Amino acid sequence: MRFEKFAASIALFVCTLINSGQTQSAAGKNGFEKTTGTESNFLKLKEKAEAGDAPSQSALASAYFTGSSVARDYSEAARWYSAAASQGSRDAQFMLGYLYEHGFGLRQDYVKAAGQYRAAASQGSAIAANNLASLYHHGRGVRKDLKAAFGWYRAAAERGQTVAQCNLASLYMLGQGTHRDYIEAAKWFRAAAEKGFAIAQVDLAYLYYTGQGVDRDYREAAKWAGLAAEQGDATAQTDLGYLYEQGKGVPLDYVTAYAWYTLGEAGGNADSSRQVKSLSRLMPAKQLAEAKARVAVVSQSRRTNEDLSSLGATSFFPAH
């Protein structure tokens, strides 16, 4: 049986949002908490920033970036991140790179983004290393260089950065920037999957389903696909539906298969859409009603994580 493979994509949007949260935490430690901030505190913070205090400059920039106790203003955020970055603030260097990359508050400039990411990564910022790797991966602001991308992904992954671990695993699985090594791919997908990263869970499920880098184990495939499906990943929902339809690693159950396919269809997965129609012709009316009722309950209690489900992963659903 042939299996359809979708290359795992680089989760840049997700990783930058994660780091933004870390920057906000650092800002709070410098005397500006979002929950307790007052106009007086803001003015004191601004006074310290204007006096050249780098932590205060970074905290003030974060306030403008997030709109915390002040109107959101990306230009002001860029101004103060730049001031802090020029004094060597690692978090500010990362965030300034992010602003340059996405054109928030200043003109988009991949070259400058790469420079700021490199500065932060050289100081040990794992998320900056991941984002610099992505620029090398896509040839934005730097010459496209998959080996360099691999090196920076690995540096970030070894520091425990979850998205980088998933990206590194993807390069091992695809043989990009390094030799193809499914055992290493499984190792790094597992590292990210065990921390709850849905994309990595889907890809680890794929490796268990195909027996690449690990012993073939349909139960483990169902386990990891199930964890990602519960987070709203449409690929995982489709794969889990397929396992229930085939009775691999889980009991044969058309009702449950239909329910997962329906959720996958809602997430935009074309394979799920086809299977919903196919099973509808096979299942008796009573089973269809039960499956639809189950979907209705799940839909009300679960919120799909669009950031993760939109990134893509490797599916073991049969190709059409």
Instruction: Give the pLDDT mean for 272-300.
Output: 89
Best mean pLDDT range from 45-49, 289-293, 296-300, 314-318: 45-49
Q: Do domains 10-180 and 198-320 have the same CATH topology?
A: yes
Q: Which residues make Cβ contacts (< 8 Å) with residue 34, sequence separation at least 6?
A: 24, 28, 66, 68, 69
Instruction: Give the pLDDT mean for 112-120.
Output: 98
**Residue 39: pLDDT band with limits 50, 70, 90:** confident
pLDDT of residue 68: 85
Check pLDDT > 50 for residue 75: yes
| Domain regions of the chain by residue span | 10-180, 198-320
Identify which has the larger pLDDT, 34 or 241: 241
Q: What's the pLDDT tens digit per position in 125-141?
A: 999 999 999 999 999 99
pLDDT of residue 300: 65
SS3 for 122-139, per residue? HCCCHHHHHHHHHHHHHC
Q: Which residues make Cβ contacts (< 8 Å) with residue 313, sequence separation at least 6?
A: 6, 8, 199, 202, 203, 206, 228, 233, 235, 236
How many whole angstroms separate alpha carbon 132 and alpha carbon 114? 6
pLDDT of residue 233: 96
Instruction: Give the pLDDT mean for 98-102.
Output: 97
- CATH, domain range 10-180: 1.25.40.10
Check pLDDT > 80 for residue 198: yes
- Token pair for 19: 């780091």
Topology given in CATH for the domain delimited by 198-320: 1.25.40
pLDDT of residue 298: 77
pLDDT of residue 306: 39
Residue % of the chain over a pLDDT of 90: 77
